[in-house]
Structure 1
């Protein structure tokens, strides 16, 4: 592989008084970019294509989201029609009333290719929408909020409340191209009560993944949404006719009957449409229509079917007395490689491959963790998952001045026999390319399987490889 294109991106309206960029989010299906600034405000850019002919400049049309903000995520709104184009929603959390409430602000990407505030309908207890603010959640904001989104679902974790809320969203209106009639219906589906700290949060391919100390806990998202209603189980609810998109999160079209993995080119290889069947309605027997959703409650250490904990490798350190002390690590980042395989970064800078063996609804999930050979002490990683590819590309950085492009043969790595025979038995990560940056690297964002966005000390760089 060689770098075939590289460019430094000129930030809009440069000024000595402009707040620096501290983090970046990218939504590949719509090419939407979100920049978080040092004053906790956001700039939203639609149709951001840094490797096009006009790569050095940002789109002139952007949306400024004022501070304070604590976390953010992109969410795709997919209707029950698998042939419809998903709509993009950007969600920002922040404190309200000295942190006594959580404020969620919703911005929808209009057909005019501009972000605007979304009208939200929510009728459940402890949720209320105020047009001049957003959705107010009766929960403590505290010191930290984490958001994670996928398709029709997002999760919110509050450290102070020690809870995770799982929300479902559905778009209504907008027929005939009228964006003014669009309404986003918001529904709280489940609450997970946490007894241990959560270090990372992810929703991918129908799973809610919690990065914890010494391992990763995995919830089946469909089970979270359905709850433990025995009546619903006895009725054999038709998941395929249900909304919230039946727990199918991601772009596995072949297995679940949606359209083929046709690539919708945006000038960068590997960008494809993401589709999912679902809406915020249920179909049970002959009945179809809005049904009161059960706000199911779960525990973090739930041992019921549909939940599993997969441990990380523990490190032994010798002390002066020659005694070995086990050192715990935390799963600080989790990103999907494929439907049942995930790359996990721990607090020691090592990478692990998490493989889930069973994702059948109602069955006990199992999984195993495989540590990968260390090429560096990793601080940042980024992946653009493509289920059609056998080998995945991962971008990893040591947080200094280099980004390594590594190829992960997912099947070979996961099929390796686990054991304690030393590092020579660990799956190897071949480095196929090294990118050097003139600035210390803060963040790495995958634009596609062959393109990456690097955040330096306030500067953005785009690279494409071939």
Structure 2
């Protein structure tokens, strides 16, 4: 691989922190190249387009005021045609008094600008209420932390304090006056008796990062599953699920035991392998680690980063549609203490570039295809980790300490430093 292009961008300074030009994280929607920068004061700069060839960030931007706890891009498709142009929506979750506030920003491709909808229709769901000056209020306390993850037509939100994961569908319809109607539908609620450390919605899967493993739900079966009524609505079972009835926003949510989650939601727990310490009396004692990042490689392949800085490959044996989800997790060779992970998902190939950073000044690149090759070689040698090898193709060094990395395209990356944004393209 050869570095053929690099760019440097000076980051905008939030007005409330004129002396502290700090940006803490970034995200990008690849199809539209929409970029968001989350600042130190939790405000967000939202750009409708970004190009590595430009010397400066686009002038047109939307400043989303604080507080914001989590945000995510979401794509809306009106039909099943994969070639249709999707609508881009940016979702922001944050606190408002005793509620969780959801704010939506829709990309106008003609005007190349994000705008807020005049109204969001929430149906007859009593837990959701739209207020024009604010957004959608979710009747649940914000608490310590909120996490949001968006995909195509669906997004999920996790509340640590409420110990719940909500699955929502978002839709935009044309009204009779030539305008549009934005509809928000609550599809399912997962009651979590175990903490969730990360969340991802990708390729029709809902993945919850937990302690020592990942819980995987088939999204289609989850949101369209039929409920089984039980009397004790307050009983908490291992990440049990409350689902809607026959695809409607029913008034009565009902709990489903874990045994029925597998039938209705197509869920299973994939444990991390190889995490333990050797002792004299017992061969290995499990080490408690959290899954802190889940990145999709393809429809059935996901890279997992744990709190120890190790990488794992989650391989699913099926899609979870009509059958129970099965699969396994294998640990990758230890390259370094990984702090950041970025990859552009692709359903057609395993030849993508995987980017990992130590959170200091270096970014390592390797091919996703080499991941499976290394694991297959280890399987052929009885899983001897000493024989596992993962070749690194290229290393980038940054003069600033690295805070975050994201993929701009299959062969290019954005690196967030202490006060600047760097773009690199590889060939």
TM-score interval, smaller chain? 0.7 to 0.9
Match of 1:154 in 2: 155
Alignment check: 8 A CA contact 1:206 1:221 kept: yes
Alignment check: 8 A CA contact 1:339 1:387 kept: yes
Match of 1:26 in 2: 28
Task: State how far apart, in whole Å, the 1-side matches of 2:200 and 2:258 are.
Answer: 15
Match of 1:85 in 2: 85
Instruction: Specify whether residues 229 and 212 from structure 1 end up closer, same or farther in structure 2 by C-alpha distance, changes over 3 A only.
Output: closer
Q: CA deviation at 1:117?
A: 0.8
Task: State how far apart, in whole Å, the 1-side matches of 2:338 and 2:11 are.
Answer: 28
**Is 2:420 the partner of 1:459?**
yes
Task: State how far apart, in whole Å, the 2-side matches of 1:309 and 1:138 are.
Answer: 29
Match of 1:338 in 2: 298
Task: State how far apart, in whole Å, the 1-side matches of 2:19 and 2:199 are.
Answer: 33
Please, what TM-score do these two structures have when normalized by structure 2? 0.87
Task: State how far apart, in whole Å, the 1-side matches of 2:169 and 2:90 are.
Answer: 14
**Is 2:406 the partner of 1:406?**
no
Instruction: Specify whether residues 421 and 414 from structure 1 end up closer, same or farther in structure 2 by C-alpha distance, changes over 3 A only.
Output: closer
Q: CA deviation at 1:443?
A: 0.5
> Which structure has more RCO (C-alpha within 8 Å, separation ≥ 6)?
1
Cα-Cα RMSD: 2.6
Match of 1:358 in 2: 318
Task: State how far apart, in whole Å, the 1-side matches of 2:304 and 2:188 are.
Answer: 25
Instruction: Specify whether residues 81 and 340 from structure 1 end up closer, same or farther in structure 2 by C-alpha distance, changes over 3 A only.
Output: closer
Match of 2:214 in 1: 216
Match of 2:72 in 1: 73
Instruction: Specify whether residues 325 and 136 from structure 1 end up closer, same or farther in structure 2 by C-alpha distance, changes over 3 A only.
Output: same
Q: CA deviation at 1:313?
A: 1.9
Per-residue CA deviation, residues 272-322 of structure 1 (Å, 9 max, x unaligned), is xxxxxxxxxx9x9xxxxxx73456755678652311111102433356999
**Is 2:395 the partner of 1:422?**
no
Match of 1:199 in 2: 197
Instruction: Specify whether residues 325 and 362 from structure 1 end up closer, same or farther in structure 2 by C-alpha distance, changes over 3 A only.
Output: same
Q: CA deviation at 1:69?
A: 0.6
Q: CA deviation at 1:18?
A: 5.2
Consecutive unaligned residues in structure 1, runs of 5 or more:
231-281, 285-290
SS in 1 for 2:386: helix
Alignment check: 8 A CA contact 2:374 2:390 kept: no
SS in 1 for 2:222: helix
Alignment check: 8 A CA contact 1:355 1:367 kept: yes
Consecutive unaligned residues in structure 2, runs of 5 or more:
229-244
Task: State how far apart, in whole Å, the 2-side matches of 1:113 and 1:380 are.
Answer: 30
Give the 5 Å matches for 1:97-136. 97=97, 100-111=98-109, 112-118=111-117, 119-123=119-123, 124-136=125-137
Match of 2:37 in 1: 35
Task: State how far apart, in whole Å, the 2-side matches of 1:43 and 1:415 are.
Answer: 44
Instruction: Specify whether residues 108 and 343 from structure 1 end up closer, same or farther in structure 2 by C-alpha distance, changes over 3 A only.
Output: same
Alignment check: 8 A CA contact 2:11 2:419 kept: no
Match of 2:262 in 1: 304
Alignment check: 8 A CA contact 1:62 1:114 kept: yes
Instruction: Specify whether residues 365 and 320 from structure 1 end up closer, same or farther in structure 2 by C-alpha distance, changes over 3 A only.
Output: closer
Instruction: Specify whether residues 298 and 30 from structure 1 end up closer, same or farther in structure 2 by C-alpha distance, changes over 3 A only.
Output: farther
Match of 1:329 in 2: 289
Alignment check: 8 A CA contact 1:12 1:57 kept: no
Q: CA deviation at 1:6?
A: 1.1
**Is 2:45 the partner of 1:46?**
no
Task: State how far apart, in whole Å, the 1-side matches of 2:154 and 2:172 are.
Answer: 12
